[in-house]
């Protein structure tokens, strides 16, 4: 090989190495966070009677709740919600009540326990039966960015009775929601979700939300850094625990009247603080 050819080859290699279209190194992923090892807030349900009033309030009424649901949510009614035997039990009942054919309960921690970031964990056993729609979730306390879905929603757990043992973890925002077909969600079939207790969890940080079932990650949603339309999750949120009856999703295959009363049982709910890096 002669020297002029070697010189030409060296120039080509140098130019190739400096070409502007050579891919840049990948940006690092979202910052990883850790959480406290003991909860900063919890309800272990080791008492009897109605839920602890220092931790829980109620959403009340029967306006369909934006989903054409059929239940009336009652307040402080032991038939629909009680604590005993170490469990919180929410019961949906088929009965006439203030113009509705079903009653249920929707517990909220709003104004009593509001959170921004953290690990949210619940151990629960789900109701069975077509037409049941239990959920354990988080909603914004102040709706700072506007009405749903602009201010966000985090679903730690949803289950519909017509698709038994399939659990869902989701988020809803103005940019990503089921109304416009862009919802960010994941689902997992687990054995005996309606017969056994399982642990459902969401890790909520400034840069990501991740969802787990029995410590197995099934869902992730990253903060894109594009503003509140995609990421309204920088404000306070609160817990909700409920069973809906029917509705746009829960009632997609009708409601089996023989499935009621239907019960959602909760062993505990816990919040672990985010440790700032």
Residue 44 designated active-site = no
Catalytic residue selected from 44, 69, 75, 153: 153
- In this prediction, residue 233 has a pLDDT band, given cuts at 50, 70 and 90, of very high
Ramachandran bin of 165, using left for φ above 0, alpha for ψ from -120 to 50, beta for the remaining angles: left
pLDDT > 60? residue 19: no
pLDDT > 60? residue 258: yes
pLDDT > 80? residue 5: no
33-43 pLDDT tens trace: 999 999 999 99
| Whole-number percent of the chain with pLDDT over 70 | 89
154-188 pLDDT tens trace: 999 999 999 999 999 999 999 999 999 999 999 99
pTM of the model: 0.89
Which domains are present in the chain? Answer: 3-275 (2.60.120.200)
Q: What are phi and psi of 85, to 5 degrees?
A: 65, 25
- In this prediction, residue 14 has a pLDDT band, given cuts at 50, 70 and 90, of very low
DSSP annotation of 254 reads: B
Catalytic residue selected from 31, 158, 265, 276: 158
Give the pLDDT score at 30. Answer: 59
Give Cα 73 to chain centroid, integer Å: 20
Tell me the average pLDDT across 114-119.
Answer: 98
Alpha carbon distance 224, 234 (integer Å): 13
Residue 153 designated active-site = yes
Helix, strand, coil percentages, rounded to 5, for the chain? 10, 45, 50
| Whole-number percent of the chain with pLDDT over 90 | 87
- Whole-Å CA distances, 23 to 17, 18, 20, 26, 36: 11, 11, 8, 8, 39
pLDDT > 70? residue 27: no
DSSP annotation of 90 reads: E
64-109 pLDDT tens trace: 999 999 999 999 999 999 999 999 999 999 999 999 999 999 999 9
pLDDT > 70? residue 130: yes
């Amino acid at each position: 090989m002669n020297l002029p050819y070697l010189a030409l080859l060296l120039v080509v290699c140098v130019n190739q190495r400096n070409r502007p279209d050579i891919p840049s190194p990948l940006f690092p992923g979202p910052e990883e966070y850790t959480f406290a090892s003991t909860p900063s807030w919890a309800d272990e349900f080791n008492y009897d009677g109605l839920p602890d009033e220092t931790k829980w309030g109620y959403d009340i009424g029967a306006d369909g709740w934006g989903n054409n649901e059929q239940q009336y949510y009652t307040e402080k009614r032991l038939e629909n919600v009680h604590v005993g035997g170490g469990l919180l039990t929410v019961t949906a009942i088929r009965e006439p009540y203030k113009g509705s054919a079903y009653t249920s309960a929707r517990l909220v921690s709003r104004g009593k326990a509001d959170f921004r970031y953290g690990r949210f964990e619940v151990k629960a056993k789900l109701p069975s039966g077509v037409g049941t729609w239990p959920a354990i979730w988080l909603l914004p306390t102040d709706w700072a960015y506007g009405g749903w879905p602009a201010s966000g929603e985090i679903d730690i757990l949803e289950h519909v009775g017509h698709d038994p043992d399939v659990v869902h973890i989701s988020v809803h925002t103005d940019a990503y929601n089921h109304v416009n077909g862009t919802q960010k969600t994941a689902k997992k079939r687990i054995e005996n979700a309606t017969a056994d207790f399982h642990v459902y969890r969401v890790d909520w940080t400034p840069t990501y939300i991740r969802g787990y079932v029995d410590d197995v990650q099934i869902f992730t949603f990253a903060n894109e850094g594009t503003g509140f339309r995609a990421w309204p999750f920088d404000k306070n949120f609160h817990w909700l625990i409920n069973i809906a009856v029917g509705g746009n999703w829960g009632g997609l295959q009708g409601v089996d009247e023989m499935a009621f009363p239907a019960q959602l049982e909760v062993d505990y709910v816990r919040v672990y603080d985010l440790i700032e890096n």
